[in-house]
């Protein structure tokens, strides 16, 4: 490889600029570099803190718009908004469910905690399903099938709570029989 480079330089000697620069070339070049440095210092561009503030404002605006769009599209229609009869139905089921939950909370002990927790997990799943149904109701313009599914959801929740009450009563009887023996 060394021979190849030497050969290249020997063969292309006429193509290389071997002339020395004019006198004062280095000083002129240095002056141009310094002038360029001074002009770039004067312009300075945009200070970093202005860019940081602008970026923060854009991030805040984007976050706000994302939350605004999410809340405006994530809310469905409740049964109560369909008709006065549906409002009455919804209020009945919600009041009954709330009353049953309060009764169950009073019967809660360490011994029956697992049974109650399992039932409440099922209720949470049904609540999530109900929220999806409210969105479907909004999209379907109060389709009767969606309304029926919502009412069935309420009925299923009540059935779970009533089954839980029955289980708690049976559990209390078992515990009281064990205490007698």
pLDDT over threshold 80, residue 74: no
Task: Determine, yes or no, domain membership for 31.
Answer: no
Nearest to 97 by CA among 164, 166, 157: 157
Task: Determine, yes or no, domain membership for 87.
Answer: yes
Most confident range, picked from 12-21, 33-42, 144-153: 144-153
The values of phi and psi at residue 124, to 5°, are -65, -40
Q: How many domains does the chain have?
A: 1
Share of residues in the chain with pLDDT > 70 (%): 88
Name the residue range of residue 146's domain: 79-180
Q: Give residue 72's pLDDT.
A: 46
C-alpha span between 166 and 71 (Å, rounded): 39
Mean pLDDT of 118-146: 89
Higher per-residue pLDDT: 117 or 65: 117
Q: Give residue 73's pLDDT.
A: 46
Most confident range, picked from 2-16, 26-40, 133-147, 148-162: 148-162
Most confident range, picked from 59-63, 126-130, 143-147: 126-130
Angle between the 144-180 and 84-106 helix axes, to the nearest 10 degrees?
A: 20
C-alpha span between 158 and 140 (Å, rounded): 26
Task: Determine, yes or no, domain membership for 13.
Answer: no
Task: Determine, yes or no, domain membership for 142.
Answer: yes
Most confident range, picked from 1-10, 81-90, 172-181: 81-90
Q: Give residue 163's pLDDT.
A: 92
Q: Give residue 78's pLDDT.
A: 85
pTM of the model: 0.56
Task: Determine, yes or no, domain membership for 83.
Answer: yes
Task: Determine, yes or no, domain membership for 63.
Answer: no
Task: Determine, yes or no, domain membership for 151.
Answer: yes
């Amino acid at each position: 490889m060394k021979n190849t480079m030497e050969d290249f330089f020997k063969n292309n000697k006429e193509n290389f600029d071997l002339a020395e620069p004019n006198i004062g070339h280095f000083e002129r070049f240095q002056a141009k570099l310094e002038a360029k440095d001074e002009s770039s210092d004067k312009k300075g561009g945009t200070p970093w803190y202005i860019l940081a503030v602008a970026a923060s404002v854009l991030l805040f605006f984007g976050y706000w718009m994302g939350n605004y769009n999410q809340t405006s599209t994530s809310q469905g229609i409740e049964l109560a908004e369909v008709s006065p009869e549906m409002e009455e139905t919804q209020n009945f089921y919600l009041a009954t469910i709330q009353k049953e939950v309060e009764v169950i909370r009073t019967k809660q002990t360490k011994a029956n905690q697992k049974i109650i927790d399992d039932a409440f997990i099922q209720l949470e799943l049904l609540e999530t399903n109900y929220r999806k149904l409210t969105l479907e109701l909004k999209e379907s313009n109060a389709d009767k099938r969606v309304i029926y599914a919502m009412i069935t959801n309420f009925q299923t929740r009540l059935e779970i709570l009533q089954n839980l009450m029955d289980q708690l009563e049976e559990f209390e009887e078992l515990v009281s029989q064990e205490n007698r023996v």
